[in-house]
Amino acid sequence: MPFDAAGRQEKRARVAVAVSGGVDSLCALLLLRRAGYDVLALHGLFLPEQSASRPDGAADPLPGLEAACRTLDIPLHTVDLRAVFQREVIDPFARAYAEGRTPNPCALCNRAVKFGALLDAALALGADKLATGHYARLLPPCRRDADALPVLAAARDSVKDQSYFLSLVPAARLQRALFPLADQDKAQSVALVAGAGLRVPLPRESQDICFVPDDEVAYRPFLAAQWRAQGMEPPGAGPVLLAERPEDGAGETREIGRHQGLWRYTEGQRKGLGIAHSEALYVLRKDRVANALIVGPRSLLGMAACVTGPANILVPPEDWPEQVWARLRHRQRAAPARARLEARDRLHITLAAPQFPSAPGQVAALYDADGRVLAGGVVERLE
């Protein structure tokens, strides 16, 4: 059961396992314990005012984690990272929405919190590595250089693969990571934990955004409270402009309604526009300068290219293949593309064929044909 990029079981290493209370992190803990590692469990307090309840309605996982760790005879440590989580995840999330972008807080959390502050806490406790319940792999370096680092890659289970969410984590931080679930699927994880007689404190699948209930009505007061706390006043109502087909109107636009704030919409959205029209309309783009929402038929929806902010380079660009695979949203398959670095390490990604659009604030992750993650960046502009 190899856990490190070289295929060796580093049993002399002391490993901290990040345990949230879900089945995946418990399975990672169990596998490392059985493999003979010197293991400790590490539970981070992330959610604001974490206590007896959570935004998703689940109970506090800490008592259940304490019971599981007693069963496995593993010490459990907790670390309060709520201030870090607020500063590095929630505040940027709220600002991005106010600016009309569609953020990906999980990717920011992995970079700044889980493999940032939580990894630092693990090292302070004497751990050499931090293991998590992510479904991802670490492969041997592409180069034989002595200082070359392991490379992040997609998990064996393509359905549960989480390498996309890890693509912003620096290579030096990934060197300290272990992913025990790299070569198994979710069903195996569930069966292993159940077979060990461990009760899962948070049996439900985690939602996309852990700190806000997965409900549009609940988003509004949450974001409003965050904006007030940051002294922000996001733009309000504005025009909805219909983009005409070139053959109908030379690509011009005309106003067909009003929106109630650009933050309520994302590129590619069809439902919830509240506009009656002769055919289905989609959000094509958001004009943040004019506070206008541009909509149009499905035929105008394709995206040909995008540009990211400063990229997290995991494989040297000179080692990239001519054709890469670009994953531009979590639920999208990677598409063939070409990529180049522009000024200040910004990625310019040109798709081989137009794709369903990403959105500014989402992550763009580049892969090679073997599933290695070459680089990741936050989308700034669609083309």
Is the pLDDT assigned to residue 234 strictly greater than 80?
A: yes
Share of the chain above pLDDT 70, in %: 88
Confidence of residue 249 (pLDDT cuts 50, 70, 90): very low
Cα angle 7-124-174, degrees, rounded to a multiple of 5: 35
Instruction: Show which of 285, 300, 315 is a domain's final residue.
Output: 300
Note the pLDDT of residue 221.
85
> For residue 300, what is the DSSP state?
G
Residues 21 and 117 in one domain: yes
Do 291 and 235 form a contact (C-beta atoms < 8 A)?
yes
Answer with the one of 256, 281, 300 that is the final residue of a domain.
300
- Compute the mean pLDDT over every residue in the chain, rounded to the nearest whole number: 89
pTM across the whole model: 0.91
358/270 same-domain check? no
**In a domain? residue 291:** yes
Sheet holding 238-243, edge to edge: 253-259, 238-243, 292-296, 282-287
Q: Say how far apart CA 288 and CA 241 lie, in whole Å.
A: 13
Same domain, residue pair 18 and 128 = yes
45 and 107: one domain?
yes
Beta bridge partners of 336: 325
Q: Do the annotations mark residue 217 as ligand-binding?
A: no
Q: Which residue has the tokens 């004009």?
A: 287
Same domain, 19 and 74: yes
> In this structure, is residue 226 part of a structural domain?
no
Question: For residue 149, is pLDDT > 90?
Answer: no
Q: Is 158 annotated in some ligand binding site? A: no
Residue 3, domain member (yes or no) = no
d(CA 296, CA 279) in angstroms, rounded, equals 9
- Choose the final residue of a domain: 280, 300, 320: 300
Cα 99 from chain centroid? 20
The reply to whether 341 and 324 lie within a common domain is yes
Q: Strand 373-382 vs strand 303-310: parallel, antiparallel, or unpaired?
A: antiparallel
User: Range with the lowest mean pLDDT among 42-46, 167-171, 225-229, 275-279?
Assistant: 275-279
pLDDT number for residue 141: 77
Shared-domain flag, residues 186 and 260: no
Asked if the structure places residue 214 within a domain, the reply is: no
Say yes or no: 247 and 118 in one domain. Answer: no
Report yes or no on 266 lying in a domain. Answer: yes
Q: Alpha-carbon torsion 74, 211, 218, 108, what sign?
A: negative
Query: What pLDDT band is residue 60 in, cutting at 50, 70 and 90?
Result: confident
Q: Strand pairing partners for 156?
A: none
Does residue 169 contact residue 111 with C-beta atoms inside 8 Å?
yes
Both 245 and 108 in one domain: the answer is no
Is 249 annotated to bind a ligand? Reply is: no
Residue at 173 is within a domain: no
- The enclosing domain of 62 has a CATH number of 3.40.50.620
∠ Cα 85 151 107 (to 5°): 25
Question: 240 falls in which pLDDT band (50, 70, 90)?
Answer: very high
Residue 171 forms part of a structural domain: no
Whether 281 has a pLDDT exceeding 90, the answer reads: yes
Q: What is the pLDDT of residue 4?
A: 52
Residue 22 and residue 186 in contact, taking contact as beta carbons nearer than 8 Å: no
Please tell me what DSSP assigns to residue 113.
I
pLDDT at 62 over 90: yes
Our count of domains for the chain comes to: 3
Q: 366 is in which domain, residue-wise?
A: 303-382
- 21 among the known binding-site residues? yes
Per-residue burial over 290-312, b if 16 or more Cβ lie within 10 Å, else e, is: ebbbbbbbeebbebebbbbbebb
pLDDT higher than 80, residue 83: yes
CATH number of the domain to which 377 belongs? 2.40.30.10
Please choose, from the candidates 382, 373, 381, the residue with its C-alpha nearest in 3D space to the C-alpha of residue 107: 373
Helix ranges (H only) for the chain are 23-34, 62-72, 82-85, 91-98, 105-109, 119-124, 163-166, 171-174, 186-195, 216-229, 246-249
Q: Where does the pLDDT of residue 209 fall: very low under 50, low under 70, confident under 90, or very high at 90 and above? A: confident
Q: What is the CATH number of the domain that holds 243?
A: 2.30.30.280
Q: Establish whether 17 is an annotated binding residue.
A: no
Q: Is 22 annotated as a binding residue?
A: yes
Region 163-167: mean pLDDT is 98
Least confident residue range of 27-36, 55-64, 220-229, 361-370: 55-64
* CA dihedral angle for residue 203, residue 206, residue 207, residue 208, rounded to 10 degrees: -170
Segment 159-171 shows an average pLDDT of 96
- Best CA proximity match to 328, nearest among 294, 354, 359, 301: 359
Q: Using the predicted structure, report yes or no on whether residue 279 has a pLDDT greater than 60.
A: yes
Distance of CA 41 to the CA centre of its chain: 23
Q: Which residues are catalytic?
A: 109, 210
* pLDDT score of 58: 60
Q: Are residues 124 and 261 in the same domain?
A: no
Q: What pLDDT sits at residue 212?
A: 81
What is residue 170's three-state secondary structure?
A: coil
Determine whether the annotation assigns residue 15 to a binding site. Answer: no
Cα→Cα distances 326→159, 185, 318, 358, 372, Å: 17, 23, 17, 11, 12
Report, as an integer, the average pLDDT of 167-189. Answer: 96
Instruction: For residue 9, give Cα distances in angstroms to 13, 133, 140, 176.
Output: 9, 17, 14, 14
> 87 with 188, same domain?
yes
DSSP result, 20-78: -SSHHHHHHHHHHHHTT-EEEEEEEE-STT-SSB-TTSPBPSHHHHHHHHHHHT--EEE
Domain check: are 102 and 21 in the same one? yes
- Asked if the structure places residue 114 within a domain, the reply is yes
